Amino acid sequence: MKATAKAHTNIALIKYWGKRDESLILPMNNSLSLTLDGFYTTTTVEFRDNLKADQFYLNDKPITGPEYTRVTKFMDLIRGYAEKPSIYAVIQSINHVPTAAGFASSASGFAALAAAATRALEMDLSNQALSRITRQGSGSACRSILGGFVEWEQGEKEDGSDSYAVQVAPPDHWDIRVAAVVLSSKMKKVSSRKGMKRTVETSPFYSSWVDSIPHDLKQIKEAIHVRDFETVGRIAEANCLRMHATTLGANPPFTYWHDTTMAVMQTVKDMRDKGIPAYFTIDAGPNVKVIYLPENEAEVEKTLRTIPGVTDVRLSRSGQGVTYL
């Protein structure tokens, strides 16, 4: 009754921003991401007969409080699916996702946890079924079940049975790279969960955001298929800007951007003016991710490192989906 799984984080090129069902974690729109090989979580789940509750260790430290509650509630869900309601586990997670790099470790974290726990319970699930379960831990995590370019289909059903991730192209389809630009700024103030909820409930720009998704998705999938980098980058950047515009219309308004965030955005545009194809995207925090092609790696990294306020640049390639160790 023991299994270990490894899952990578992912970066959304078409963002997930807003839920239509908060408890089942059903999104308002489809999203599309690239799974990244550089940042991952490894989780071991071992069920033991003598335990009266789960134990959760993150990077070898015992975890309590809200973080523990979120994990054990997710384990309850998996126990429910397995029809084994009162068997508890020791969960050991090692995060290779630098929090400072602005990646939500929840994506790789819940993907690795779902994979390890269901494997330990010998549930033998398809990727589709595993993605559906993972989604209920954290939305973006359902995309990390698969490698390469991945689309999370929002689905229409109230029970969420048609809301899961599908692979658009495998990692070896296209060597496209991502630089995570780390800023010296502090932790974000509005969590993505609270930020998207406030935006859905109060921003008059929200419906325009949702309306814009099908066109972005159609175009970006065509461009991924033919490896048209400029179209992929242009759409991803515009989609990111539109997502962030919804937060400015929220009540109370907010933004995840800092001054250095905008300095990085400007530098990326300047690189393009000099003929280097690079595009930015930003999640629910101040850090910036830059997508570029392998032949421009040295120049992109060097340029990003010169920006005042940038403390680190971490490079990553396209990564694979969940694996079992």
Token pair listed for 12: 């959304």
**Taking CB under 6 A as the criterion, which residues in 150-169 touch ligand 2P0?**
none
Among 271, 284, 300, 322, which residue sits at the site for ligand 2P0 (rule: CB under 6 A)? 284
- Smaller CB separation from ligand 2P0, 4 or 289: 289
- Smaller CB separation from ligand 2P0, 140 or 267: 140
- Smaller CB separation from ligand 2P0, 196 or 271: 196
Tell me how far apart the alpha carbons of residues 78 and 286 are, in angstroms, rounded to a whole number.
34
Tell me, by CB under 6 A, how many residues bind ligand 2P0: 15
Q: What angle do CA 74, 318, 255 make, to 5 degrees?
A: 65
Whose CB is nearest to ligand 2P0?
139
- Smaller CB separation from ligand 2P0, 21 or 295: 21
**What's the closest the beta carbon of residue 276 comes to ligand 2P0, in angstroms?**
25
Q: x-or-dash pattern for ligand 2P0, window 100-129, by CB under 6 A?
A: ----x-x-----------------------
CA distances from 80 to 74, 75, 84, 85, 161 (A): 10, 8, 6, 6, 16
3-state DSSP of 296-311: HHHHHHHHHHCCCCEE
Q: Which stretch binds ligand 2P0 (CB under 6 A): 11-19, 87-95, 172-180, 297-305?
A: 11-19
Token pair listed for 60: 């070898």
**What's the closest the beta carbon of residue 34 comes to ligand 2P0, in angstroms?**
11
Nearest to 209 by CA among 15, 10, 13: 15
- Smaller CB separation from ligand 2P0, 12 or 313: 12
CA distances from 315 to 69, 95, 186 (A): 33, 17, 21
- Smaller CB separation from ligand 2P0, 63 or 104: 104
Residue 144 neighbours by CB distance under 10 Å: 33
192 binds ligand 2P0 (CB under 6 A): yes
**What's the closest the beta carbon of residue 63 comes to ligand 2P0, in angstroms?**
17
- Smaller CB separation from ligand 2P0, 120 or 141: 141
267 binds ligand 2P0 (CB under 6 A): no
Q: x-or-dash pattern for ligand 2P0, window 20-39, by CB under 6 A?
A: -----x-----x--------
72 binds ligand 2P0 (CB under 6 A): no
**Alpha helices, H only, the chain:** 66-82, 105-120, 127-135, 192-202, 206-225, 229-248, 259-273, 297-305
Among 3, 5, 7, 12, which residue sits at the site for ligand 2P0 (rule: CB under 6 A)? 12
Residue 261, phi then psi, degrees to nearest 5 = -55, -45
Tell me how far apart the alpha carbons of residues 200 and 205 are, in angstroms, rounded to a whole number.
9
Region label for 74, one of left (φ > 0), alpha (ψ between -120 and 50) or beta (otherwise)? alpha
Assess contact for 93 and 56: CB atoms under 8 A.
yes
Q: What is the dihedral of CA 96, 101, 104, 110, to 10 degrees?
A: -10
8 binds ligand 2P0 (CB under 6 A): no
- Smaller CB separation from ligand 2P0, 220 or 284: 284
Write out the residues near ligand 2P0 by the rule CB under 6 A: 12, 15-17, 25, 31, 104, 106, 138-140, 192-193, 283-284
